[in-house]
């Protein structure tokens, strides 16, 4: 009892009551506090996730029957194009890098803030206008050539929407690059004394690898979009074969970013999982260096596999071999991570709370997506399933089963730290079960549909696919319903949830050594590394966890 009281006292914000009343205003202001920016990213991207999910529900409603009867085929094209663009550029990328990267990195490395706080705020405030701009395209004829926007189709179809799409992606890409600059400098230069690269938490390694990809890949996409914009608006012929241009050059430039983008979306989530599993397994992470370095192996290989999206675009056979082999090799560093995670939870004292359930769900679902990924890497198989629902199934197992499950795990794990309140466990488990069932119901049958030849991006299909499509649509509705317990849980917990102690999970990384939520500038005293991040189960770890949050306790004494 006494201990709870003490902890509640340390959790009270240090400033006066009048300031507290206007506290929420900082979340809609140009704040330079990395924690505020992280939460701004998280809330904004989650709102766009709901928008993208709504679009997906419309798509699945159309596909519930073989006829095109719910929306016009033209609008259908706009729905799936904007759905994909929103989910990639406005949900997973800003949530995985922007939200968790900004919130966690300074805390994990023991810094007071990011290296360039103002730049950080600028990067965030490019997201809402970029997103609203994209949404506005529905009023002018939404872009309908798919999120890949391949010319020549994108040059002749819904041109105004296409121009808006290009501008919006350029804005979001710039935001992403500015964020990456910040992450790289912060991680390399602002670690607490005693923390060398090999003793920083694994999320930092993952973010460093992902930031390098953003830095190297996104500008090339920008280059491609500038040229595409000239073709579209001015009428040049860079990618227009009728004027001597070459549409395949666009595909190369596009995928030079957009394949690494897959790793930009999954590497930070790998990092989150590497943080969550040891805490809830009460065991040191298995293979710290293997997990850390494999992030960079994935980054490097990720830059030289892009043409596997173009096996049917007239890519010469010798080049297809090169990209096929590289793609398959990526399974090795990814497998190293998966086996290290399994070895981490093996024999641990598992706590099956919502965060851990989503983390374990992540591993199982991601592995399915990973295996179908190796399948589509094989040229002959890819030629068979190219542009079919097999690809749709594969990418959703990676991006939803992987990234989104991991993001949910992250939200459940760090919600107490971000808000100072615990989330409801029962609702969390209901959310997990609904998500897992809905997800598999929606996407597992798509493998079969794709193998049997159902094409993606088409509103009408052969009636023989009707039954499985109806199952997929029911799964999609279940998935839509599954977000309600989560939203209710999060909103209710922010206001009425049980007060969170500083270290609810018994974690060893720096963020658990300060108050929940952490004070302005994070730590009362400059932190230094007493113990490597994952030494769970050792005597020293027990001492540190029992002694309580040392970086916050000192704050109380100082005050």
In this complex, which beta carbon is closest to another protein, that of residue 170 or of residue 338? Answer: 170
In this complex, which beta carbon is closest to another protein, that of residue 16 or of residue 244? Answer: 244
Q: How far is the CB of 266 from another protein (least distance, A)?
A: 21
Q: How far is the CB of 191 from another protein (least distance, A)?
A: 10
Q: What gap in Å lies between CA 183 and CA 347, rounded to an integer?
A: 35
Q: How far is the CB of 30 from another protein (least distance, A)?
A: 19
The shares of helix, strand and coil residues in the chain, as percent rounded to the nearest 5, are 75, 0, 25
In this complex, which beta carbon is closest to another protein, that of residue 223 or of residue 463? Answer: 223
To 5 degrees, how large is the angle CA 268–CA 389–CA 387?
90
Question: Residue with structure tokens 């793609």?
Answer: 327
What Cα–Cα distance (Å) separates residue 106 from each residue in 40, 188, 446, 462?
A: 16, 11, 41, 53
CA-based R_g, the chain, Å: 23
Q: What are the structure tokens assigned to 317, written together?
A: 């056979």
Q: How far is the CB of 219 from another protein (least distance, A)?
A: 4
User: To 10 degrees, the CA torsion angle through 530, 536, 542, 544?
Assistant: 30
Q: How many CB atoms lie within 10 A of CB 419?
A: 18
In this complex, which beta carbon is closest to another protein, that of residue 238 or of residue 362? Answer: 238
In this complex, which beta carbon is closest to another protein, that of residue 170 or of residue 451? Answer: 170
Q: How far is the CB of 81 from another protein (least distance, A)?
A: 23
In this complex, which beta carbon is closest to another protein, that of residue 292 or of residue 404? Answer: 292
Q: What gap in Å lies between CA 540 and CA 559, rounded to an integer?
A: 28
Residue 499's beta-bridge partner residues?
Answer: 421
Contacting residues for 532 by C-beta, under 8 A, at least 6 apart: 199, 288
Q: List phi, psi (to 5°) of 420.
A: 80, 10
- Binding stretches for another protein (CB under 8 A): 111-112, 115-116, 119, 177-178, 180-182, 184-185, 188-190, 193-196, 198-199, 215-220, 222-224, 226-227, 230, 234-238, 243-246, 249, 252-253, 256, 284, 288, 521, 525-526, 528-529, 531-535
Q: How far is the CB of 340 from another protein (least distance, A)?
A: 13
In this complex, which beta carbon is closest to another protein, that of residue 71 or of residue 216? Answer: 216
Q: How far is the CB of 113 from another protein (least distance, A)?
A: 9
Q: What gap in Å lies between CA 241 and CA 250, rounded to an integer?
A: 12
């Amino acid at each position: 009892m006494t201990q709870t009281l003490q902890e509640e006292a340390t959790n009270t914000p240090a400033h006066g009551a009048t300031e507290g009343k206007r506290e929420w205003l900082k979340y809609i202001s140009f704040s330079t506090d990395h924690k505020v920016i992280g939460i701004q990213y998280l809330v904004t991207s989650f709102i766009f996730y709901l928008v993208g999910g709504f679009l997906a529900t419309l798509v699945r409603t159309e596909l519930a029957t073989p006829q095109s009867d719910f929306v016009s085929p033209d609008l259908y094209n706009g729905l799936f194009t904007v759905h994909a663009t929103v989910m990639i550029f406005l949900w997973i990328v800003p949530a995985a890098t922007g939200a968790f990267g900004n919130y966690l990195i300074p805390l994990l490395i023991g810094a007071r803030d990011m290296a360039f706080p103002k730049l950080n705020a600028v990067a965030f405030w490019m997201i809402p206008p970029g997103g609203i701009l994209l949404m506005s395209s529905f009023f002018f004829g939404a872009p309908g050539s798919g999120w890949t926007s391949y010319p020549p189709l994108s040059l002749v179809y819904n041109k105004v929407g296409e121009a808006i799409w290009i501008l919006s992606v350029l804005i979001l890409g710039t935001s992403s690059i500015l964020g990456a600059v910040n992450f790289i400098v912060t991680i390399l230069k602002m670690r607490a004394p005693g923390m060398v690269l090999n003793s920083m938490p694994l999320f930092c390694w993952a973010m460093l690898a992902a930031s390098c990809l953003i830095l190297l890949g996104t500008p090339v996409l920008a280059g491609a979009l500038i040229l595409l914009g000239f073709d579209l608006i001015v009428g040049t012929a860079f990618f227009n074969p009728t004027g001597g241009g070459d549409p395949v050059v666009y595909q190369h430039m596009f995928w030079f970013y957009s394949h690494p983008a897959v790793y930009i979306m999954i590497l930070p989530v790998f990092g989150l999982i590497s943080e969550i599993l040891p805490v809830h397994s009460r065991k040191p992470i298995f293979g710290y260096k293997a997990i850390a370095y494999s992030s960079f192996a994935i980054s490097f290989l990720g830059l030289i596999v892009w043409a596997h999206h173009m096996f049917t675009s007239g890519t010469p056979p010798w080049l297809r071999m090169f990209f096929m082999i590289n793609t398959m090799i990526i399974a090795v560093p990814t497998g190293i991570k998966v086996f290290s995670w399994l070895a981490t939870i093996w024999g641990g004292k598992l706590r099956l709370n919502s965060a851990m359930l989503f983390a374990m769900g992540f591993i199982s679902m991601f592995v399915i997506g990973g295996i179908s990924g190796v399948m589509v890497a094989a040229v002959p198989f890819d030629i068979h399933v190219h542009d079919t629902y097999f690809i749709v199934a594969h990418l959703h197992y990676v991006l939803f089963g992987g990234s989104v499950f991991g993001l949910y795990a992250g939200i459940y794990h760090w919600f107490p730290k971000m808000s100072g309140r615990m989330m409801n466990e029962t609702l969390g488990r209901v959310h997990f079960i609904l998500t897992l069932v809905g997800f598999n119901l929606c996407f597992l049958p798509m493998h079969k549909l794709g193998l049997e030849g159902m094409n993606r991006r088409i509103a009408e299909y052969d009636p023989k696919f009707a039954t499985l499509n109806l199952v997929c649509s029911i799964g999609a509705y279940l998935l839509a319903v599954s977000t309600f317990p989560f939203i209710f849980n999060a909103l209710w917990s922010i206001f009425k949830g049980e007060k969170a102690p500083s270290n609810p999970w018994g974690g060893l990384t720096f963020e658990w050594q300060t108050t929940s939520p952490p004070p302005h500038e994070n730590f009362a005293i400059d932190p230094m590394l007493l113990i490597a991040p994952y030494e769970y189960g050792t005597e020293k770890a027990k001492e540190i966890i029992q002694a309580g949050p040392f970086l916050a306790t000192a704050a109380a004494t100082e005050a």
